[in-house]
Amino acid sequence: MFDIDKWKEIWAVLSRNKLRTFLTAFGVFWGVFMLVIMLGAGYGFEKGIFGQIDGVATNSAFMWSQNTTEAHDGFKKGRSWNIEINDIEVISKKVSNLKYIAPRIGLYKKFKDGMNIYYQDKKGNYSVNGDYPVYQNIDPFLILSGRHINKFDINEKRKVCVIGKTVAEDLFGKQESPLGKYVNIVGVYFRVIGVVDAVSQMGLGGRKDKSIYIPFTTLQLAYNLGVNVNFFILTAKDGVDVSSVSKEIASILRKRHNISPTDETAVGSFNLQKEIQKFEGLLGGVKLLIWIVGIGTLLAGAIGISNIMLVVVKERTQEIGIRRALGARTYQISSQLILESATITAIAGVLGIMFGTFVLSLIGMVLANSPDSSFLANMVIDFKLAIMSLTIIIITGILAGIIPAQRALSIKPIEALRTE
């Protein structure tokens, strides 16, 4: 293996016909390069997607009220109903596998023409939500300054608000601190107690940087919203399927609001855990397809190397015959040819990995400066995948040299010496 004379001989053979060696190696190089690019793109896409919900409790679900589709207990179908804050309290007590439940209300239904928020001579239109502190445990905030809503704000119905980063910049600029200042939200003044941003680029409840958060109880009272809840988000305990918890909650809501037990659509829901599982299955299929295509391309390159090596064996028939006549053992002949094949494959494969990684780095640098690059900004190849690819390349090279080696061993010395 480490015989310097053997490596000199391999180099002499490979450099004897440079164009043929280059074209042979290029097939493997291109196959490895494409495999690296596809793996890097797949990895970047996966990281980009899951980075959008980074920090969010994935075993979560949204639930809201919808019109009934069945008549029940004297009520006609098509009846509208609303989830109430008392329902949340009952659900919290009855559902044992419930970890968190966070109701939310907003002003979008009451002020459909728009919600203008003022600070002095500046104004903007933003989403206004009424929350409980528990919401942060499901869909966390990044607190840039000040604090978020706490239980004392809820209990005392304080007129305070937390604003998103973009709201703060629009109304106060980048130099002035909004903390302690009062903003006019559709005629009611609220003191700013915090500025927040999203932990991930896409949260569960819309863009946090363009939203305003007010204590749930304060929003109810200030705008006479009553006891209705627009929707709530829940999280199941660790190891519990959130679907089963959602079904239990839906059953409780149907019973409390005189809805038919078989009316599945009256309680709307969105299962985040289920959607993530679907996406993970899709990503698994994409990864499998990438490996099939990549390995198929490598095999095509290996077949090309094997065919070229057969030509090399034919050209070197007389040489092989002389070596065998002089007493060269079979493993010396076969190992020489297999090593030549593996060398071409390994060099081409390493260059393919290096060039592919370089191209991925360039793409990453370009996309890093793009505002819409979140899905592919992390295009890199994992070190373990690189080692796995290199291993596959070396094995492919060895396999590619086996058939030519067997062909060389089948040549009888006397026949080889007669070959011109």
325 vs 119: which has the higher pLDDT: 119
Residue 314 pLDDT greater than 70, yes or no: no
- Would you say residue 272 lies in a domain? no
pLDDT confidence bin for 378, thresholds 50/70/90? low
Q: Does residue 211 sit in the same domain as residue 353?
A: no
Q: Does residue 76 sit in the same domain as residue 128?
A: no
Q: Give the tens place of pLDDT for each residue, 19-54.
A: 777 777 787 788 788 888 887 777 777 776 666 665
Q: Does residue 98 sit in the same domain as residue 235?
A: yes
87 vs 296: which has the higher pLDDT: 87
- Pairing label, strands 122-125, 116-119: antiparallel
- Pairing label, strands 127-131, 211-215: parallel
Q: Does residue 132 sit in the same domain as residue 171?
A: yes
Q: Does residue 320 sit in the same domain as residue 401?
A: yes
Q: Give the tens place of pLDDT for each residue, 161-172.
A: 999 998 899 898
pTM of the predicted structure, to 2 decimals: 0.67
pLDDT of residue 58: 73
Q: Does residue 284 sit in the same domain as residue 414?
A: yes
pLDDT of residue 324: 62
- Would you say residue 61 lies in a domain? no
Residue 1 pLDDT greater than 70, yes or no: no
Point out the domain boundary residue: 208, 224, 240. Answer: 224
Q: Does residue 212 sit in the same domain as residue 259?
A: no
pLDDT confidence bin for 369, thresholds 50/70/90? low
Q: Does residue 281 sit in the same domain as residue 412?
A: yes
Looking at residues 2-21, what average pLDDT do you find? 67
Per the prediction, the chain carries an average pLDDT of 79
Q: With contact defined as beta carbons under 8 Å apart, do 420 and 319 qualify? A: no
- Would you say residue 300 lies in a domain? yes
Q: Does residue 316 sit in the same domain as residue 203?
A: no
Residue 72 pLDDT greater than 60, yes or no: yes
Q: What is the DSSP string of 58-119?
A: SSEEEEEE---SS-BTTBPTT----EEHHHHHHHHHH-TTEEEEEEEEESTTT-TT--EEEE
Q: Number of folded domains in the chain? A: 3
The single-letter DSSP state of residue 179 is T
Place of tokens 């009424």: 130
pLDDT of residue 317: 64
- Would you say residue 344 lies in a domain? yes
Point out the domain boundary residue: 242, 265, 288. Answer: 265
- Would you say residue 362 lies in a domain? yes
pLDDT of residue 91: 93
pLDDT of residue 106: 86
Looking at residues 388-416, what average pLDDT do you find? 68
378 vs 93: which has the higher pLDDT: 93
Q: Does residue 290 sit in the same domain as residue 414?
A: yes
The highest-confidence range among 205-219, 243-257, 355-369, by mean pLDDT, is 243-257
Residue 309 pLDDT greater than 90, yes or no: no
Looking at residues 244-272, what average pLDDT do you find? 90
pLDDT of residue 5: 61
- Would you say residue 271 lies in a domain? no
H or E segment and range at residue 103 = strand 98-106
Point out the domain boundary residue: 244, 265, 286. Answer: 265
Residue 123 pLDDT greater than 60, yes or no: yes
Q: Does residue 191 sit in the same domain as residue 130?
A: yes
Q: Does residue 117 sit in the same domain as residue 36?
A: no
pLDDT of residue 174: 83
Domain residues for 208? 111-224
Place of tokens 């397809």: 289
3-state secondary structure 249-291: HHHHHHHHCCCCCCCCCCEEEEEHHHHHHHHHHHHHHHHHHHH
pLDDT of residue 296: 78
pLDDT of residue 194: 92
pLDDT of residue 113: 55
Residue 408 pLDDT greater than 70, yes or no: no
- The candidate with the shortest Cα–Cα distance to 106, out of 266, 222, 267, is 222
pLDDT confidence bin for 251, thresholds 50/70/90? very high
- Would you say residue 59 lies in a domain? no
Looking at residues 106-119, what average pLDDT do you find? 73
Residue 193 pLDDT greater than 80, yes or no: yes
pLDDT of residue 395: 78
The highest-confidence range among 110-119, 139-148, 212-221, by mean pLDDT, is 212-221
pLDDT of residue 398: 75
Residue 156 pLDDT greater than 90, yes or no: yes
Cα 238 to Cα 115: distance, rounded to the nearest angstrom:
39
- Would you say residue 270 lies in a domain? no
pLDDT confidence bin for 352, thresholds 50/70/90? confident
pLDDT of residue 3: 60
Residue 186 pLDDT greater than 80, yes or no: yes
Q: Give the tens place of pLDDT for each residue, 210-250.
A: 889 999 999 999 888 888 999 999 999 888 888 899 999 99
